[in-house]
């Protein structure tokens, strides 16, 4: 699977090609302005790439943290001695927050190309991967929504549920914690697993078959990082599809328009 960064670079090139293609062409002011504003979206795509390295840094911390625990279940974090459970919470929150900031920036940018006007041009509430691309088919062409919801619905929903649970709930629910104890582990507790399944299947209405991942559900419970790794891979693939669909489609439309 090609890295998301490569797809973003190709999208940027496609929009630059559009900009060059209309340069000097006699178009109505309204049409020219419409095309150039969309082509200028490449700036937002470039800006989002900075979050890829931030996400990688957070993931690196996640991979190493359980190897840094001392005999008292403490970890040195930014020069301070912190309980492993606290460090685990901070780093998982950071990883999920950066991951979804990346996705949100990209979908907000390309939503202008593929979503209905009420969503694509809504700067106060721009297009979101879960809300507009996967869950709600009213904002997208039927073909794109069908591929995203049934090909990537499960990993997107799982990642979205985990992001909300860690960032908004502090990974606490019904006086229970998401992890199996406070020790140096990333194992999901039984109550945490049940909470996640209720969110994904009962509330979000996703099916266990709504995925292209080779890993069959249920995914590993002994280490939530394995689940996060699957989600990152599949969420990147879904995001790359959306970015490519939007920018390549736009380039094709402009090319056909100018082929007279």
158: nearest Cα among 98, 222, 52, 229 = 229
Secondary structure, 3-state, the chain: CCCHHHHHHHHHHHHHHHHHHHCCCCCCHHHHHHHHHHHCCHHHHHHHHHHHHHHHHHHHHHHHHHHCCCCCCEEEECCEEEEHHHHHHHHHHHHHHHHHHHHHHHHHHHHHHHCCHHHHCCCCCCCCHHHHHHHCCCCCCHHHHHHHHHHHHHHHHHHHHHHHHHHHHCCEECCEECECCCCCCCCECHHHHHHHHHHHHHHCCCCCCCCCCCCCCCCCCCCHHHHHHHHHHHHHHHHHHHHHHHHHHHHHHHHHHHCC
- pLDDT score recorded for residue 221: 87
Task: Tell me the residue range of the domain where 179 lies.
Answer: 4-258
Work out the burial of residue 116: count CB atoms within 10 Å of its CB; fewer than 13 is exposed, 13-18 middle, 19 or more buried.
middle
Structural domain count, the chain: 1
* Chain-centroid distance, C-alpha 257: 33
- pLDDT score recorded for residue 258: 95
* Chain-centroid distance, C-alpha 14: 22
- pLDDT score recorded for residue 44: 95
- pLDDT score recorded for residue 97: 98
Q: CB within 8 A of 121, min separation 6: which ones?
A: 112
106: nearest Cα among 16, 9, 227 = 9
- pLDDT score recorded for residue 161: 98
Q: CB within 8 A of 246, min separation 6: which ones?
A: 11, 110, 111, 113, 114
How many Å from the N-terminal Cα to the C-terminal Cα in the chain? Answer: 37
- pLDDT score recorded for residue 183: 82
Output the tens digit of pLDDT for each of the chain's 260 residues. Answer: 899 999 999 999 999 999 999 998 999 999 999 999 999 999 999 999 999 999 999 999 999 998 899 989 999 988 899 999 999 999 999 999 999 999 999 999 999 999 999 998 898 999 999 999 999 889 998 899 999 999 999 999 999 999 999 999 999 998 899 999 878 889 999 999 999 999 999 999 999 999 999 999 999 889 999 999 999 999 999 999 999 999 999 999 999 999 98
Query: Max Cα separation, the chain?
Result: 74
Residue 198, number of CB atoms within 10 A of its CB: 13
């Amino acid at each position: 699977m090609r890295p998301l960064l490569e797809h973003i670079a190709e999208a940027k090139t496609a929009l630059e090609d559009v900009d060059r293609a209309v340069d000097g062409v006699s178009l109505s002011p309204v049409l020219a302005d419409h095309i150039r504003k969309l082509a200028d979206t490449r700036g937002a795509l470039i800006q989002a790439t900075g979050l890829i390295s931030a996400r990688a840094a957070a993931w690196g911390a996640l991979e190493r943290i359980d190897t840094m625990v001392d005999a008292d279940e403490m970890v040195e974090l930014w020069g301070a001695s912190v309980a492993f459970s606290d460090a685990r919470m901070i780093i998982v929150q950071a990883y999920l927050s950066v991951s979804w900031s990346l996705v949100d920036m990209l979908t907000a940018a390309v939503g202008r190309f593929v979503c209905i006007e009420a969503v694509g041009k809504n700067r106060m509430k721009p297009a979101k991967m879960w809300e507009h691309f996967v869950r709600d088919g009213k904002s997208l062409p039927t073909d794109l929504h069908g591929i995203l919801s049934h090909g990537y619905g499960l990993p997107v929903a799982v990642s979205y549920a985990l992001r909300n649970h860690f960032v908004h709930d502090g990974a606490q629910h019904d006086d229970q914690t998401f992890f199996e104890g406070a020790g140096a582990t990333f194992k999901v507790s039984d109550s945490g697993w049940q909470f996640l399944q209720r969110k994904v299947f009962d509330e979000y209405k996703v099916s266990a078959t709504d995925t292209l991942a080779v890993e069959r559900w249920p995914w590993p419970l002994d280490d939530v990082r394995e689940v996060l790794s699957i989600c990152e891979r599949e969420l990147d693939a879904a995001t790359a599809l959306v970015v490519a669909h939007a920018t390549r489609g736009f380039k094709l439309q402009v090319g056909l328009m100018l082929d007279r």
